[in-house]
């Protein structure tokens, strides 16, 4: 399974999906010009991974900020996780960032994937 | 204008690169004023939606057909609140649709906006321009206040759409 590794920039998040080291993390800021194009490799990666996933896969979402176009794609990614057996999500938010906490709660209500919330 | 404490005004072409520069400048300003992180995040949030709305919806006019069209973006601060204002030309045909969308948003309370957001994100699709149809709803949620808007006819094809969002500081 290929490693998906995108360096973060000022308007795109850092993404590492690495099955060898068991790291699955999206972090930073997300406000790309074209969110569908930017996140397509993540959806493609999950489409392949769901065919032979580990017994458990812990996906970490550690976002500082995302725009509304990204939120639509984040929901697409989370929906894709419903097809990955053993997937779970840890949603990180800064301890004083109620909006990010609420955003995570809303996503957790929209998809059927176990969510855990942590502050950083 | 001066006693309203403008922090930043930009008029001209709007692109993703310009959006990034404007955001960086505004962030640096808020930083230097020592603004609280929660307020800074909300202001940043509204600025992004506003700027990307202009990028997506204001760039498609052909100057020969429609005349010169420029957009404006500004952010300012009163004692008790920040305000983020944008103005850009739109096709007059779309005034009714935008107006009813904003009126609907303004008629909703916090829970109503949350429900609308969830309905759109769940059932909506990205537009050809890559918008999720969530920008105004998100701006209203981050603001907690009504959105102020206006449409002024420019010529037979276009209207100038202005939108103001306020972020209370406490």
Domain residues of chain B, as ranges? 2-168
Residue B144 and residue B160 in contact, taking contact as beta carbons nearer than 8 Å: no
> pLDDT band at residue B63, thresholds of 50, 70 and 90?
confident
H helices then E strands: how many in chain B? 6, 5
On chain A, the residues whose CB falls within 8 A of the CB of B119 are none
Classify A28 in phi/psi space as left (phi over 0), alpha (psi -120 to 50) or beta.
Answer: left
Distance (Å) from the C-alpha of residue B3 to the closest C-alpha of chain A? 31
B138 contacts A69? CB cut-off 8 A: no
Of B98, B77, B78, B81, whose CA–CA distance to B89 is shortest? B98
B44 contacts A68? CB cut-off 8 A: no
Beta bridge partners of B150: B162
In a mutational test of the A interface, the residue from B18, B26, B45 whose CB has the highest number of chain A CBs within 10 Å is B45
pLDDT digits (tens, 9 = 90+) for A30-81: 999 999 999 999 999 999 999 999 999 999 999 999 999 999 999 999 999 9
The neighbour count for residue B96, using CB atoms within 10 Å, is 10
Q: Are strands B71-77 and B6-12 parallel, antiparallel or unpaired?
A: antiparallel
> pLDDT band at residue B3, thresholds of 50, 70 and 90?
low
Whether the per-residue pLDDT at B58 is higher than 70: the answer is no
What is the rounded distance in angstroms from the CA atom of residue B13 to the CA atom of residue B63? 13
- The three-state secondary structure class of A59 is strand
Domain range B2-168, its CATH number among 3.30.565.10, 3.40.1160.10, 3.40.50.1970, 1.10.1780.10: 3.30.565.10
Read off the pLDDT of each residue in B113-125 and give the average, rounded to a whole number: 92
Q: What pLDDT, on the 0 to 100 scale, is given for residue B1? A: 47
What single string gives the DSSP state of each residue in A68-83? HHHHHHHHHHHHHHTT
Long-range contacts of B91-97 (CB under 8 A, 24+ apart): B91/B157, B91/B158, B91/B159, B92/B153, B92/B156, B92/B157, B92/B158, B92/B159, B95/B151, B95/B159, B95/B161
Looking at the partner chain, which of B37, B114, B130 has a beta carbon nearest the beta carbon of A35?
B130
Q: Which residues of A touch B (CB under 8 A)?
A: 10-11, 31, 33-36, 65, 67-69, 71-72, 75, 94, 96-99, 106, 109-110
- The three-state secondary structure class of A37 is helix
ipTM of the complex: 0.92
Looking at the partner chain, which of A11, A35, A72 has a beta carbon nearest the beta carbon of B20?
A11
Partner A contacted by B130 (CB < 8 A): yes
Residue B26 and residue B10 in contact, taking contact as beta carbons nearer than 8 Å: no
Phi/psi of residue A116, each to 5°?
-125, 145
Nearest CA in chain A to B52: A33
Read off the pLDDT of each residue in B129-155 and give the average, rounded to a whole number: 92
The neighbour count for residue A109, using CB atoms within 10 Å, is 10
Whether the per-residue pLDDT at B59 is higher than 80: the answer is no
A99 contacts B142? CB cut-off 8 A: yes
Share of chain B above pLDDT 90, in %: 69
- Look at domain A4-119 and name its CATH class: alpha beta
Read off the pLDDT of each residue in A4-26 and give the average, rounded to a whole number: 97
Phi/psi of residue B89, each to 5°?
-75, 140
pLDDT digits (tens, 9 = 90+) for A75-107: 999 999 999 999 999 999 999 999 999 999 999
Partner A contacted by B45 (CB < 8 A): yes
A65 contacts B126? CB cut-off 8 A: no
Residue B63 and residue B157 in contact, taking contact as beta carbons nearer than 8 Å: no
Partner A contacted by B25 (CB < 8 A): no
> pLDDT band at residue B24, thresholds of 50, 70 and 90?
very high
In a mutational test of the B interface, the residue from A72, A73, A100, A101 whose CB has the highest number of chain B CBs within 10 Å is A72
Partner A contacted by B160 (CB < 8 A): no
What residues of chain B, 64 to 83, have a C-beta less than 8 Å from chain A?
none
Residue B132 and residue B120 in contact, taking contact as beta carbons nearer than 8 Å: yes
Phi/psi of residue A101, each to 5°?
-65, -45
Q: Which two tokens stand for residue B151?
A: 């449409």
Distance (Å) from the C-alpha of residue A54 to the closest C-alpha of chain B? 28
Beta bridge partners of A5: A16
Q: Which two tokens stand for residue A80?
A: 């894709």
């Amino acid at each position: 399974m290929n490693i998906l590794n995108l360096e973060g920039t000022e308007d795109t998040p850092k993404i590492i999906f690495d099955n060898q080291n068991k790291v699955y993390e999206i972090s930073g800021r997300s406000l790309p010009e074209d969110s569908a194009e930017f996140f397509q490799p993540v959806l493609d990666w999950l489409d392949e991974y769901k065919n032979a996933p580990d017994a458990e896969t812990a996906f970490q979402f550690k976002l500082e900020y995302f725009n509304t176009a990204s939120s639509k794609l984040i929901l697409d990614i989370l929906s894709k996780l419903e097809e990955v057996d053993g997937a779970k999500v840890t949603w990180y938010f800064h301890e004083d960032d109620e909006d990010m906490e609420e955003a995570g709660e809303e996503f957790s209500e929209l998809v059927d994937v176990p969510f855990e919330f942590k502050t950083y | 204008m001066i006693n309203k404490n403008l922090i930043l005004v930009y008029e001209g072409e709007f692109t993703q690169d310009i959006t990034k520069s404007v955001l960086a400048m505004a962030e640096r300003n808020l930083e230097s004023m020592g603004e609280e992180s929660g307020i800074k995040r909300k202001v940043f949030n509204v600025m992004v939606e506003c700027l990307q709305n202009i990028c997506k919806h204001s760039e498609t006019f052909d100057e020969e057909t429609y005349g010169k069209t420029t957009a404006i973006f500004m952010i300012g601060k009163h004692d008790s609140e920040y305000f983020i204002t944008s103005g850009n030309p739109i096709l007059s045909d779309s005034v009714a649709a935008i107006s009813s969308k904003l009126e609907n948003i303004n008629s909703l309370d916090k829970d109503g906006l949350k429900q609308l957001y969830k309905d759109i994100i769940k059932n909506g699709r990205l537009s050809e321009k890559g918008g999720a149809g969530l920008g105004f709803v998100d701006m209203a949620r981050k603001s907690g206040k009504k959105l102020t808007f206006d449409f002024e006819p420019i010529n037979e094809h276009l209207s100038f759409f202005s939108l103001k969002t306020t972020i209370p500081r406490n």
